[in-house]
Amino acid sequence: MLYGLMTEEINFSYDGGIYPELVRDRAIGHGWGALTHWTMVARGNSAVTISEDETTGPSEALPRSIKVSVTSATEAAPAGLQNDGYWGIPVRPQATYTGSFYAKSDSPSLPVTVSLVNDETGVAAATATIAGVTSEWKQYSFTLKTGELPVTANNHLILTIPRPATLWLNLVSLFPPTYQARPLGNRIDLMEKLAAMHPKFLRLPGGNYLEGNHISERFDWKTTIGPWVDRPTHPGAWGYRSSDGMGLLEFLEWCEDLKIEPVLAVYAGYSMAQEHVEPGPALKPYIEDALDEIEYVTGGPETKWGAERIRNGHAAPFPLHYVEVGNEDWFDRSGSYDGRFAQYFKAIKQRYPQLQVIATAKVKSVTPDVLDEHFYMSAQESLTDAGHYDKADRKGPKIFVGEWATREAEPTPNLEAALGDAAWMTGMERNADLIVMACYAPLFVNVNPGGMQWATDLIGYDVLSSYGSPSYWAQVLFGKYLGTEAVAATLTNAGSRVFVSATRNEKRRKLFVKVVNATSDEAPLSIALEGIGQVKRDAMLITLSGKTPNATNSITHPDAVVPVEHRIEVAGPKFEEKFAPYSINVLELSY
Ligand code: AHR
C-alpha cells in the first residue's frame, strides 16, 4: 500500500482536468457567474439575447436556467449560444463525442442544432440536430462524430435554433472518448499517467476540498450522487465552483479503473474559516452521514445506501480498509478535534470494526490506527530531513504521509525538487514498517493562465495534452520498482547528498536498490549485497537525470527529463556502479 494518489478539486483537477466534461459551467445557477463561458451566436440577420432565468430550471437542485431569446432567425441564419470550454475544446479525428442537455421551449417541436466549431475557421467538425424540444423540461442526447481533420484545441460548442422562439437550457454536456471507454468516465491521457505510477490507493475527495471554507461548502457527498440534475453543485475551496460531476461514485469508479482502493476521507465537522461543530449531539448528524457514506461504498443490496449505489449503477461494493476523519485538523484553533475524532472513531469502529481509522492531527482521548502527517518542503529541507522517520516512535499509531511534496518551481516541479522527493522517498521506504501509505500532493494542474491555485503540482496539462514533471517520474520509478519488504541499506562515506533504500520481492526474486545522487558530481559506489547469495549477471539500471537542477518538463517540452533504462552486468554480490550527477536511480537485480 505504500504509494498512492492524493486528489482534490484544485488547479482545475476535476472540472477542466481528469473529469473530461468539455462544456465549462454546464450547470446554471444564480450568483456563480455561470454565464461567463456562454456567449450569444447570431448568424446573418438573426437576433438573440441570453440571460440567466431564475424562475425555471430542470429540477429542485437546479431551479434556474439559461434563457435564449431568439427574436429573428432562419434555417440559413440561425441563432443561439456557444460555450468556449476549459481554455478551448479539443477536437480529434475519427472521434465520437457524447452529449446531452436539458431543455424546454415556448415553440412546439423546436429543433436544436449542436455543432463543434473551430474558433479560427468557423468550420464545424461535427453537427447533430435534435428534432423537437417541447414545453416540458426534458433531457435530450446527441452524438457528434468527427471525420478526417487535424487535432485542434481551439474549438467551441454551438447550440442554435432556426426560428424565433425562447429556449431554456441547463446541463449542456459534451464528453470525449474516456479511459477504458467507461461511459462518462475519466480523461484518457491523465489516467494512463496515473496507471504508470503503479499506485495502490486514491485519497479522496481532498484536502481542503473535503472541508470547504464554510460548513455549508463541505464535500456533502449525498449531493454528489445520482443523476446530474439532482446535484446542486457547490463552491469549492479553491475559488471556483465544482460541477460535482466527479461525485462519490465517480471517485470510486476512478479507483476501480486503476484497480486501486479508496482511502475515504469523511467530513469531520470542521471547515477552514474556523467553523466547527461541537462534539456531542450537534456532531451526530455528520457522523451519521459518514457512516452512510461508508455503507454507500461497501454495503450490499440489503442496506439502504448500498441499494442506493446499486440504483446509481454500481452493483458490486468497493473494497475499503481506511477511513480518514477530516483533513489537517491541526488548523482548528478551537481544540475540538480530540472530541470530534473520538466520537467518529467510536461510531466507525462500532459499526465497522474491520476499518482502520486515520486521524489528521494528534489526539489524546483515543489511539487512532493511523496518523496522517503532511510535509511541504524546499529541496534543501527534503534532503536534510530524508531521515525524518528513522528514529520515530514505533509504539504509537502507524503513519500515513497523506500529503507531501518538495516545492521548487511552478506550475510543476523541476529536477531539484524531484531529487528532494526521491531522497525523501528513500526515507519512507526505509521506514515502511511505520509508514503504511504515502501520497504526493497536489496531483494535477491545468497550466492555462488562471488554472493554477497552488504552485508545484505533479502533472500538468491543457485541453489537448499532458506531461509528467521530473517529480512525477520520480514517483513512477519509486512506485514501479518496489518490493514487498524493505531491507536494510546503509551508505558509508558517500556524503550527505547521496541517499539509498532497498526493497525486495522474495517471490519474484527481485531486489530494487534506489540511489539518489543530489550532487553535481558522478557518484562511484562500491555496492555489497549481504545475505543474498548469488545475484544474476543481467541487471537493469534506470536513471532519471539532467544537466542542472533546474532541468524540467513543460507542456511544450514534455520529455526533457525522463527515465532512461540501461542493461548492465553485475559481477556478483559485490560490484561497482557509477551514478550520474543530479540523478535518481533504480538498480533492478535478480537473484
Ligand atoms: O495540497 C494542497 C492543500 O494543502 C490541501 O488542500 C491541504 O490539505 C493542504 O494544506
Distance CA 561, CA 480 (A): 18
The torsion angles phi and psi of 403, rounded to 5 degrees, stand at -155, 130
Q: Is this model's pTM higher than 0.95 or not?
A: yes
Q: Which amino acid is at 540?
A: M
Average of per-residue pLDDT across 58-82: 97
Length of the chain in terms of residues written: 591
Q: Is the pLDDT reported for residue 34 higher than 80?
A: no
For residue 267, what is the DSSP state? P
Give the residue from 265, 257, 398 showing the smallest Cα distance to 314: 257
Q: Is the pLDDT reported for residue 30 higher than 90?
A: no
The rounded mean pLDDT for the chain is: 97
Q: What percent of the chain has pLDDT over 90?
A: 98
Residue pair 6/265 in contact by the 8 Å Cβ criterion: no
Q: Is there an atom of ligand 1 within 6 Å of 207 CB?
A: yes
Same fold, 38-175 and 485-590: no
Q: Model confidence over 501-536: pLDDT tens digits?
A: 999 999 999 999 999 999 999 999 999 999 888 999
Domain ranges of the chain: 38-175, 180-368, 485-590
Q: Is there an atom of ligand 1 within 6 Å of 441 CB?
A: yes
Residue 141 burial by Cβ neighbours in a 10 Å radius (0-12, 13-18, 19+): exposed
Q: Considering the domain 38-175 in this protein, what is its CATH number? A: 2.60.120.260
Residue 207 burial by Cβ neighbours in a 10 Å radius (0-12, 13-18, 19+): buried
Q: Output the CA 163–ligand 1 centroid distance in Å.
A: 50
Residue 164: asked if its preceding bond is cis (omega within 30°), the reply is no
- In 3-state terms, what secondary structure has residue 173? strand
Q: Is the pLDDT reported for residue 29 higher than 80?
A: no
Q: Model confidence over 277-288: pLDDT tens digits?
A: 999 999 999 999
Q: Is there an atom of ligand 1 within 6 Å of 8 CB?
A: yes
Mutate to test the pocket of ligand 1, among 13, 454, 458 (most ligand atoms within 8 A of CB): 454
Q: Considering the domain 485-590 in this protein, what is its CATH number? A: 2.60.40.1180
Task: Specify the CATH architecture of the domain 180-368.
Answer: Alpha-Beta Barrel (3.20)
Task: Quickly list H helices, 170-223.
Answer: 188-196, 208-211
Amino acid 95: pLDDT: 98
Q: Model confidence over 206-237: pLDDT tens digits?
A: 999 999 999 999 999 999 999 999 999 999 99
Distance CA 429, CA 434 (A): 10
Q: Output the CA 207–ligand 1 centroid distance in Å.
A: 5
Residue pair 396/363 in contact by the 8 Å Cβ criterion: no
Alpha-carbon torsion 466, 471, 473, 479, what sign? negative
